[in-house]
Each structure stands twice: as structure tokens, then as C-alpha cells.
Amino acid sequence: MSSDGSNDGEHRTSYTTAGAGYTRDARYITTRITRDGEDGYPVEPGRYRLVAARACPWANRTLIVRRLLGLEDALSVGLPGPTHDDRSWTFDLDPDGVDPVLGIHFLRDAYLRRDPGYPLGITVPAIVEVSSGAVVTNDFAQITLDFSTEWTDYHREGAPDLLPAAHRDEMDQVMRRIYTEVNNGVYRCGFAGSQESYDEAYDRLWTALDWLEERLTSQRYLVGDTITEADVRLFTTLARFDPVYHGHFKCNRQKLTELPALWAYARDLFQTPGFGDTIDFEQIKQHYYVVHHDVNPTGIVPKGPNLAGWLTPHHREQLGGRPFGDGTPPGPVRDGERVTAGHSPLA
């Protein structure tokens, strides 16, 4: 998520021409934290801190994967508040508004430690080296892949395989379409600068959602019979669909609750340890409706929707599948990382 309230609130954006379609700026700090430390940053427990706002779907991915793999002891987490000004994400939820490990109020400070002239947006998720206070990477797509492949020495016993080799080619194809048409598609609708660009974005989004509805009618998970990275990537958009994207971003052909397979699939994942226990619906709404001044100039945050349905039976187990494959569910959420009481049906 970018710190610039005039853009999408998630990542830096640009517009092809005034009043035209939305194009996401995909330039990131692509340094990687790897087992061999090829980029100068080897995997080491306690060396880094993940900064991930609960409001952000891209950051939410990292919170889910970190929890599923059991990386809590190896990689601490800092949680900025849901809103920010034009300068940066801020640690408003911590005592005195300062992250207790990094000692900063503005996430921007960690970016400037890396590059005093840093020219791009201040985004989450970001991984910061604790000793230097500098951002190592904010490449959100690569971060979760590296959690699965480079941090294996620190996975919990029973951690699932989120990138099964037998399905990797199919996963990559599915994830690519989910990213372009759904994860990013809702933003193309919400930040369209003309009726023509909005209509095109809307049609693309719903073509993809219809494809997913059909795919998930006959299989429990997106690829194979276990939860994979592809499910994580789709889930964070679905969790935000009715509270935000349906109205705020005008993605309003149907609500998620009106799509039988996708709604049951989303509930199935939400009720799976590691997914719903990372979702803070209040922070999600506060971010989108307060920060996006151009879309919602009044800053009024809606009270709805009713969230009780997230805990209703989904019956997806009838399709078979093994959520964690040969692994096991993660344990209880760690102290200090629980969603605020009242902000979720699980809280």
C-alpha cells in the first residue's frame, strides 16, 4: 500500500492519460532475503522485521503465509495503523505511536535509511533489517514465495507446502490471472478515470470472477486438493469484496454473498486457522473509506455489512481435499498479534 492518499492506497499508481484507465506502478525494491545471502541479506532469525498493515490485501498475504508456515519466532511483525497521511504509514496502534522494535513512527524513515533519496511510494508489506533500520525489500509477490522456499529451516513442524512442485506450472498460470483480473482488477474499477475505462475494467473483473465461480463449484481449492499460495492470493481480495470493493470501488454486479461457490470457498478459508484470524474488517474499512479522499471525499465509514455469515457452515468438505496436505494447522495466534476484539466475527 502506498502512503499517498491520492492514489490507490495500496501501491504506487499512474494513469496512462488524464481521465483514462488505471495502471499500477510495479516498481519495487527487489532485493531478496535468501538462504545463501546472494543479495547481501541471508535468512537469519531475528535479523528482520516484517511491517504489514492489516488493512492492505497485499500485506495481508504475508501475514497469512508467515502464520501458516510458523515463522513467528524467526520473523517479528510490526503492524501500522489503518490510515496515514501523505508522508507515510505510521505505527499509531503502538504505545506513543512508535514501533517497539524499529523505534520509528513513520515507516518512511526505514525507506530513507535504505536510500535517502528514495523516489517511490512508501508501501507495505516491507521487510526491515532491525540493526540498520533500513528496508530490505517491499516486493510483495516475491516475499511470500521466499517465505516458502528460502525460510524452510525455520518453518514449524507440520508446515504445509504452499508451492507444491507437481502443480507449480498450473499455479503460476492461475495466480497470474488472479492478479491481473481480480487482485488488480478491483482497483481498475475503483480508480477508473472515465466511463469507458470503468466499463472495460468491470467487464474484465466479472469475467474472471465468473471463471472462478465455475472452477470452484467442483473443486475445494484453486489448484490440487490442498491450500496453496494461489488460495492465499485470492482470499485477501474476497475478504474485502463486500465491505469495500462492491460499493467503494463500484464492483457491484453481485455481492460475494450472492456467488454460491466463491462465498462458500471464502468462508471455508476464513474458518481455517491462519486465514480469518488475520482479517480485521474495521481496519480494512477505515483505510479505504478514509484514505481514498478522491473516491470518498466525506470520509464516512459505513457501518455494514453484517459479518455474521462468515462463520456459517460452508459444506466445502464434501468436495474432499486436505487443507494442509500432509501438514497440520497452525497453533493459536500469538499474544500481541490477535485482531482487535469486535473487529471480526473471530475476534
Give me the active site residues, please: 56, 187
CB 281 within 8 Å of CB 308: no
List the grid coordinates of 300: 464516512
How many angstroms from the chain centroid is the CA of residue 86? Answer: 21
Q: How far apart are CA 286 and CA 281, in angstroms?
A: 9
Report whether the peptide linkage leading into residue 125 is cis, meaning its omega lies within 30 degrees of zero.
yes
* DSSP class of 24: E
Contact 193, 19 (CB under 8 A): yes
CB 267 within 8 A of CB 279: no
Determine the angle formed by the axes of helices 260-270 and 229-240, rounding to 10 degrees: 110
Closest listed residue to residue 1, CA positions, set 234, 292, 228, 341: 292
DSSP string, 143-180: HHHHHHHT-GGGPPTT---SS-GGGHHHHHHHHHHIII
- Cell numbers standing for residue 223: 489448484
Kindly provide the residue ranges of all beta strands, DSSP E only, lying in the chain, ordered along the sequence.
13-15, 22-24, 48-51, 76-78, 126-129, 134-137
Nearest-Å Rg of the Cα atoms of the chain is 19
Give the alpha-carbon dihedral of 37, 47, 53, 79, to 10 degrees.
180
Q: Which residue has the cell 537469519?
A: 44
Distance between CA atoms of 213 and 47, rounded to whole angstroms?
A: 42
Binding site annotation covers 89?
yes
Single-letter amino acid, residue 135: V
Residues annotated in the binding site for glutathione, as ranges? 89
Binding residues, by number, are 89
